[in-house]
Amino acid sequence: MLIEFFAPYMRFFYGAAYNLHQTLDGLGISSTGFIEKATDGSMVSGFSPGQAILPIFAALILIACCMLPIILITGYILGRKRGLMISTLVLLAPGLMNALGLLPAFSFIPDKYNIGGTGSLGSAFGFIPITVLGVILGWCLTIIIYDTFKLDDRFRHLYDHAWFLAAILTGIFFVADSGSHEDAQDLAESSYITRNASLYLLSQVREYDAYCAETEQTNLSSCRWAARVQQQLSDYADYHHKIYKEFGPRSSRDIYAPDWTNIQDIEITQIRKEIQSYNDKRCPVTKLNKDISRSSASSGICQRVPANYCVAFPDPPAGLADKYIISKTVALASECIIPSLVVFRSQQEKLISIVGKNEIAKHYRWLFFIIFSIVVGGKIANSTTRAVGMDSRADADRQRLLGLIIGLLSNTLRFILFMRKIFTWSFCFIRRQRY
């Protein structure tokens, strides 16, 4: 029976602990990792979110226990014994309903937990218990302060200043979230284009590799490069943007001559010249006059490069390749795609840094909304004090908490004096019996 009574409270705080730890994990303040010594003496490591949240779960239970007297005092301030009774019933209602089978099953535990998940805020349902605690705390503290210091309507107006400022901050955070979403979209789009551009160039390189074998020119520098670079382009097409940032090309040389080769710049130039000759042969450009030329018609071999794959001009020296290759049909578009892959890596490196900062900022905004829930509780409390007509109470009926404390101290003092009298009378009685 006791288990059924306490079950909803445990589920409530357990879900809150999961979501709070998700943010602490994302900020690097806490971790789900563990290292233990096994029975055979070996070290065992792993991740256990269920175990990692136990300290936070215990802390939330302790906070709740500290809040219980605050809630009861608030009920007493609002309605004396009747308010105290109503507050008690409200606190006991979930447990009693669950014990009687009237409370539907619920769970605030997120469906998944992202280990070290910077930017992951847990589930929206798991956010509910944390904000509920914040609202209750703000509501109770504001009512206690309002009554204890005999505040009036001026306090409510001053409180509205903080309320409106918090609302403005909420709007700023909404705009910031929109901006961070756009940055994440830009990063995803850049990664998507990088993969497709790598696959596009890979298909053309394979066609060129087959051409080299067919024409028995595999000894050419460009043909050897075409055979070697296919795995590299395939890797680029498979890389996640974080991996591409680390292993993607920082210059065109990383594609023409990887670190594990000893290719010189003169050979890279020779590769590019041979590719240009290949394009001229397979997709010749007809010169109509001094200023006008016509490319070959589009076909399975000759195609114009998609604009998204060709965002950079060819590498120097000038004149080695057509600067405006994007407007021509070519069989192998390495002159613009390779420099573009370099640009994409640099672009993604910057975007990853920006998105990373935005992901961390999400957690701070999450913490702000926890604080804002306390402000919301205070705003509700101001309406509560007006609803119960606290301003119209007689001065003798205000400061109920102080009156309660003074009453308790007075009764305690009376009890001490009474016990002193009993002790003195007993001492005198025993002394008279002795003599």
Torsion, CA 328, CA 329, CA 335, CA 340, rounded to 10: 80
The pLDDT confidence band at residue 266, using thresholds 50, 70 and 90, is: very high
pLDDT value, residue 37: 60
pLDDT value, residue 46: 62
The pLDDT confidence band at residue 51, using thresholds 50, 70 and 90, is: confident
Share of the chain above pLDDT 90, in %: 56
Q: CA angle, 375 as apex, 74 and 88 as ends, to 5°?
A: 25
In this structure, the chain runs to a length of 435
Torsion, CA 88, CA 93, CA 95, CA 96, rounded to 10: 110
Among 44-48, 154-158, 261-265, 376-380, name the one with the lowest average pLDDT.
Answer: 44-48
Q: CA angle, 296 as apex, 291 and 298 as ends, to 5°?
A: 130
Reduced to 3 states, what is the DSSP secondary structure of residue 189? Answer: helix
Q: Report yes or no: 256 and 268 within 8 Å, Cβ to Cβ.
A: yes
Q: Mean pLDDT over all residues of the chain?
A: 89
What is the average pLDDT across 186-205? Answer: 97
Nearest to 22, CA basis, from 53, 60, 47: 53
pLDDT value, residue 248: 95
Nearest to 131, CA basis, from 365, 381, 373: 373
Reduced to 3 states, what is the DSSP secondary structure of residue 293? Answer: strand
Is a pLDDT exceeding 70 seen at residue 435?
A: no
What is the average pLDDT across 122-151? Answer: 91
Strand partners, 45: 35
Q: Please write the tens of the pLDDT for every residue from 290-326.
A: 666 688 888 889 999 999 999 999 999 888 888 888 8
Greater model confidence, 275 or 432: 275
pLDDT value, residue 98: 93
Rounded to an integer, what distance in angstroms lies between the CA atom of residue 311 and that of residue 201?
Answer: 14
What is the average pLDDT across 355-368? Answer: 90
Reduced to 3 states, what is the DSSP secondary structure of residue 147? Answer: helix
94 contacts: CB under 8 Å, gap ≥ 6: 8, 9, 12, 103
pLDDT value, residue 290: 63
Rounded to an integer, what distance in angstroms lies between the CA atom of residue 77 and that of residue 143?
Answer: 8
Among 82-86, 263-267, 317-321, name the one with the lowest average pLDDT.
Answer: 317-321
What is the average pLDDT across 333-351? Answer: 96
pLDDT value, residue 400: 86
